[in-house]
Structure 1
Amino acid sequence: MPSRSDDPVAAAIAAGVARLREAVREVAASNPVVLIDGRSGACKTTIARVLVREWPLQTAPQLVALDSIYPGWDGLAEGVETARERILRPHARGLLGTWQRFDWEAGEYAESHAVNPALGLIVEGCGALTTATARLADVRVWVDSPEPSRRHRALGRDGDAFRPHWDRWAAQERAHIARHDPVALADVVIPIP
C-alpha cells in the first residue's frame, strides 16, 4: 500500500482532515455539527470516516451518510431536506432526531436510526451544504475534485450500479451547486486531486 507521501489523494485527505480537526476544536462545544459536501467521487465519505477515527473531542461523533437517506436516484434534494428536518433541526434544538434508511435494492424505507443531540454529528453527502443547512452547522466543508478523478473513483467504487445513473445524478449535483453555491458557504474547502 502506498504511503501518504506516495499517494497524492491520501496526502490531500490527511491534510484536509487535519484542518477539520482544528476547526472542530475551535468550535469549543461537545456536540459540534460538521457538514461535508462535494460531488460524487470527491472523497467525502473517506474524509468523514477518517474524521470519525481522528475526532479531536473526547466522545466520538455520529456519522450520517446522505447515501442512506436519498430516496433513490432522483432524490438528492429530497434526501437533503429530510436530513435538515429530521436530523439537523432537532440536533440544533437539543432534541433527539430520527431518520429512516432507504433500501436502494428494495426501493423503500427500512429501519430507523436515532441521532443524539448531546453528541457531535457529521453529515456527509452530495447536497449536504445548502443555505438552510449551513445555518445549522458549526463546520461547513466542500470537497473539490476534478470530474475525471471523481468519475474514476465513483465508478470504481460502485461500478455498474452507478454507471447508468452518473449523468442523471450529476444533473442534480449541478442544480444543487447553481442554487446554493456550497463553495461560498464552506468554511473549509478541501481539494482532492
Structure 2
Amino acid sequence: MGDGVTSVVAELVARVERAAPTLGAVRLVCVDGPAGSGKTTLAARLADRLGGSRTATVVHLDDLYEGWAGLEAVGPRLEAQVLAPLEAGRPARFQRYDWSRGRFDDWVEVPVPDVLVLEGCGSARRAVAARAVLVAFVEAPRDVRLRRGLERDGESMRDEWLRWMRLEDEHFARESTRARADVVVDGTAPWTD
C-alpha cells in the first residue's frame, strides 16, 4: 500500500471518499486489531484527513466494552446504541463505560456524520463489517503491544492485559478478522505527516 503510513492513510482516505454510504447515509470505516497495535492512532489520522469537507466521527469501542471482560458482549450494545440509529438516519447515543469506576456512566451523543470511524478490537466483527466501506486491521508484535499497554495502564494491569490478549486471540480466530480485512496496517511503522 505505498511507502510508509502516510501514503497508506492517503490511499485509505481516497478509498473511503470514493465509496457510497453503506450505513444509511454514513460511510462506516472499521479500524480493528489487537490492543496496543496502533488502532487509535490510525483512526485519528483517518478522521482528521476525512474531516476536511465532511464530518468524520470516531467512536472508540473502549467506551462501549463493559470492562476487561466486555469484548464479546459489546456487539448488541454497539448495534442498538450506535449502528441502528445511524443506519436509520437518526443521531446515535451510547452509554460510556467508566473504567476507573467499573460501571457505565454518562451518555455520549453522536450526530449523524458523513463518516463514522469505529475503532477498537472487535469493531470489524462480521455483523458490522458487512456494512463497512473499509476494514483496516492494525497489527504489531505481541511484546510491543503489551509494552504499550503497560506504559499506558501501569504494570499492575499486566494480568488483565494478558487475559485480554488471550480473549482477543480467540475472537480474531473465530471471526477471521485479519483475513477479511481490506488492508492490514503495520502499527509499528513511523507515523509521519
TM range (shorter): 0.7 to 0.9
Residue in structure 2 matched with residue 124 of structure 1 by the alignment: 119
Residue in structure 2 matched with residue 14 of structure 1 by the alignment: 6
Identity of aligned pairs, percent? 33
RMSD: 2.0
Residue in structure 1 matched with residue 76 of structure 2 by the alignment: 81
- Check whether the contact 1:129–1:182 (CA below 8 A) recurs between aligned residues: yes
Residue in structure 2 matched with residue 145 of structure 1 by the alignment: 140
Residue in structure 2 matched with residue 43 of structure 1 by the alignment: 38
Q: What amino acid is aligned across from residue 21 of structure 1 in structure 2?
A: V
Q: Structure 1 length normalisation: TM-score?
A: 0.85
Residue in structure 2 matched with residue 24 of structure 1 by the alignment: 16
Aligned pair count reads 183
In structure 1, how many angstroms separate the alpha carbons of the residues matched to 2:148 and 2:88?
Answer: 37
Which residues of structure 2 form unaligned runs of 5+? 189-193
Displacement of 1:116: 2.4
Displacement of 1:84: 2.5
Secondary structure in 2 matching 1:54: helix
- Check whether the contact 2:26–2:87 (CA below 8 A) recurs between aligned residues: no
Residue in structure 2 matched with residue 173 of structure 1 by the alignment: 168
The range that moved more, 109-118 or 135-144, is 109-118
Residue in structure 2 matched with residue 187 of structure 1 by the alignment: 182
In structure 1, how many angstroms separate the alpha carbons of the residues matched to 2:84 and 2:57?
Answer: 15
From 51, 55, 58, the equivalent of 2:53 is 58
The range that moved more, 156-165 or 170-179, is 156-165
Which residues of structure 1 form unaligned runs of 5+? 1-10
Q: Structure 2 length normalisation: TM-score?
A: 0.85
